[in-house]
Structure 1
Amino acid sequence: MAGRIRQGLTEPDRRARVLDVLIAACTTGIEIGVMIDRWPDWTWTAIALSALAGGALVFRRRAPVVVLVLTTALAGLVVLLSGAGGVARGAPPVVALFTLGERKTWRVALLGLVPAAVLLFAWSITSPVVCVMAVLTGRYLQMRRRYVSTLEERTAYLERERAQLDQIAMQRERAAVARELHDLVGHTVTVMLLGVRGARDVLRTAPDEADDTLRRVEESGEQSLAELRRIVTVLRDVDTPTASAPLRPAPSLKQVDELVTTFRDLGLPIRLDIDGALRPLPDGVELAAYRILEEALTNVLKHSRATEVLVQLRYGPEELEVRVDNDGQPRLAPETVPARGHGIIGMQERAAAHDGQVTADVRPGGGFRVRARLPIGATV
């Protein structure tokens, strides 16, 4: 059992026990040395009592009040047995008073200080000033220890908070990259796939039309490649792009007509309705609105047989509304369509990044509706 207890001690606990033993030994040595120096004003019983008082200091951390009472009483007995005052120097009670101030509250320390100082002074062992200084020194070390402990806890808390913030920032960056790649690759692959299918269908009967379709597919691929290079450049934080990696400006609502035309060429009957005057918006809002619109139209093209698609942009005094309504039915059976894909989640995350929101629901009369609302502040 004792072996298991010793193995369970931490390194600070072991150091504290060793220190207590050293303090007890030194204090006992001082007391006995004073007695021997004052021969013949001492007895073997007084030496034994002084050794007992010094040995009690080994337990000063675990029972400071008991140790103070014991060392003070033993100091008084040494004085009585020696037959003359001043033989005992009171080192064990002073150390006990120091420990009381270090380990206990102000109230307990004062309650122990007053009677101990009075008795030690009455027995001509030590002065009250020494007793008070011992307690004050202990109190100072206690406050310093608490201050250092508070600083360490605060530092550890800040380190944990910084690590959490770094983790959150990394997750947000990964989510942003995932959204950008999903929107870009999803839209481009859909456009290219449908374009190639259409070109193959009319390759023999209308080669000119097939050639024109393949040209648009090629342009879409080039634009997507430029977009990918732009994303990679931003991720690498390159100040000056290389000549072999031309960049394309981030898309915005200025290209909404081009976007709608692209989907019209793929067979979507889109009607565009812009309510309010087009005006410059923050770059992040412009990109979010464009990507939301692009993703909504891509979903219509991939998942429905729409015969009418209405795209609405409404510029309010403090809000931009983007709506995409279609009357199509799902291309797949309802049980094979996922309830919520990455596209809708990505749209909602883009809007939330600008304190906006996106709703995607089935319309009461059939079809599907995507509605995004993005705050844009007062009119520029």
Structure 2
Amino acid sequence: MEQQRESPGPPWRRWVEGAGRGLGWRSALLVAVLAQAGTGWAAQAQTGRVPLDVWARILLLLGPALLLLRHRHPVAVAYAVGAVTLVYLAAGYPYGPVFVSFAVACFAAVISGHRRAAWGAVALLWTGHLLIGHWLYQRLPPPGDGPAPWARELGITAWILAVLAVFELIRVRRDQWSRERSERAAAARRRADEERLRIARELHDVLAHSISVINVQAGVGLALLDTDPEQARRALTTIKAASKEALGEVRQVLDTLRAPGAAPRAPAPGLDRLPELLEQAAAAGLTVHTSTEGRARSLPPGTDLAAFRILQEALTNVVRHSGSRTARIRLGWLPDTLELRVDDDGPATAAPAGGSGNGLAGMRERAGGLGGTIEAGPRPDGGFRVVARVPLKPVPHQEAP
């Protein structure tokens, strides 16, 4: 059965999904270097802020250091980095890449499924920044500082909204990727189950028919071994031919397991092999009369195989379960349906017939897979009847049963 490989997706998807798991301390180190160097460069243009000192450097390092724990404790790290950022701003130090640590912490919270916690941390930082810039600035350094200009507040608000929009986009895409993975896994399991069912059905139909013929002929051979050696020889010849054919068909089914997707070495059986099927039934002591109504047409491979297997299984059930040694097959070629009818006159035998008891279920599965139906049951005048109706036009996405 062919395994479908999962599409790796675009490179940026792999980076987003692995951000922090494979990067880990490397991404935290990158943020630390960016915060130290970027803030030092930005401080040169902000003469009104408190100059960078050792405490400022420690705060700029503390945020990236907390990022090392963001995958184990994403919510706590998001709020902790937000608190460190607020302390840095309250101390009056220059603006710069100090917000990068906070953005990474919130990003980790979002992708780990803590969306509300990330929004809460952003709201707290934004509210704290407003309070510092428009109310607490008189009690905080630098001395003589005035209220923050609203243009800067609007810029920071726009930056926060943009970051949140990116987080939401990433969250939506991750949810889509997760659903796609689940759907692909479910589809792969469904294909595997269908393939296992198909192979089990093929093996059942091949072995049930052939072993039924072998069982009957073995009984004939044993009964006539002393009194009619020539008839016993013919029975053994039939056993040899039936077993050879069964081995060939089983080998063909097993080849599909060893080489998935490869073309079969022999064509799948169809209604063109009906005369051969009748010969095998005759070898098992069953006389079969056939009739046809309507104009015969060529069938799609899947429909042709299903029709052959349904007839094969119906005749096998007659050999196993019916006391009648005569059966009748009628092929009805309707405008858009092929009707297969198999009758025997019964009565049912009381002797155990062996087998798995899955014959009728297998026929229903084959017909149902093609959009058809199976009716099976006793006839009013005695005996048993199986009627299968399958559409002549394949249903969409039809595969060989």
TM over 0.5: yes
SS in 1 for 2:292: strand
CA offsets, 1:113-162, max 9 Å, x none? Answer: xxxxxxxxxxx512221111111111111111110001100001000000
RMSD: 3.4
Distance 1:152 1:74, change over 3 A: closer
Distance 1:79 1:225, change over 3 A: closer
Q: Larger radius of gyration, structure 1 or 2? A: 1
After TM superposition, list the pairs within 5 Å mapping 1:246-257 onto structure 2. Answer: 248-257=266-275
Q: Which residue of 2 aligns with 1:152?
A: 174
Partner amino acid for 1:18?
A: A
How far apart, CA to CA, are the structure 2 residues paired with 1:312 and 1:144?
68
The aligned amino acid for 1:323 is R
Distance 1:363 1:77, change over 3 A: same
| Correspondence for 2:252 | 230
Q: Secondary structure at the match of 2:148?
A: coil
Equivalent in the alignment of 2:389: 373
Whole-Å separation in 2 of the counterparts to 1:172 and 1:142? 45
Contact 1:354-1:375 within 8 A present in 2 as well: yes
Instruction: Show the counterpart of 1:103.
Output: none
Matched, 1:364 2:384: no
Aligned pairs (5 A) from 1:68-217: 72=130, 78=136, 87-88=144-145, 124-217=146-239
Q: Are 1:267 and 2:267 an aligned pair?
A: no
Q: Deviations over 1:313-345 (max 9, x none)?
A: 112222111111122132238xx899x931111
Partner of 1:105: none
Percent identity, please.
28
1:304 pairs, out of 318, 322, 325, with: 322
Deviations 1:18-76 (A, max 9, x none): 31232122112226x99xxxxxxxxxxxxxxxxxxxxxxxx996487788677656655
Flag the 1:206–1:73 CA change in 2: closer, same or farther, 3 A.
closer
| Residue number among 277, 290, 297 corresponding to 2:295 in the alignment | 277
Contact 2:336–2:392 (Cα < 8 Å) also in 1:
yes
Which protein has the bigger helix share? 1
Q: Which runs of 5+ in 1 are unaligned?
A: 1-8, 35-58, 89-123
Report the TM-score, using the length of structure 1 for normalisation: 0.70
Q: 1:68 to 1:329 in 2, by over 3 A?
A: same
Other-structure match for 2:359: 343
CA distance in 2, matches of 1:375, 1:60: 58
Distance 2:256 2:127 in 1: 73
Aligned residues: 302
If the length of structure 2 is used for normalisation, what is the TM-score?
Answer: 0.67
Q: Is the 8 A contact 1:226 1:247 kept in 2?
A: no
Which residue of the partner structure matches residue 89 of structure 2?
A: 27
Q: Does 1:14 align with 2:14?
A: no
In structure 2, runs of 5+ residues without a counterpart are: 1-70, 96-116, 395-401
- Write the deviation string for residues 181-219 of structure 1: whole angstroms up to 9, x where unpaired: 000111111100110101111122211111112111111
Provide the rounded CA distance (Å) in 1 between the counterparts of 2:372 and 2:333: 14
> CA separation of 1:140/1:286 partners in 2, compared to 1, >3 Å: closer, same or farther?
same
1:80/1:185 Cα in 2 relative to 1: closer, same or farther (>3 Å)? closer
Q: CA deviation at 1:282?
A: 1.3
Question: Kindly tell me: are residues 362 and 80 of structure 1, through their superposed partners in 2, closer, same or farther at Cα, counting changes over 3 Å?
Answer: same
**Farther off after superposition, 192-201 or 19-28:** 19-28
Q: Give the 3-state SS of the residue equivalent to 1:30 in structure 2.
A: coil
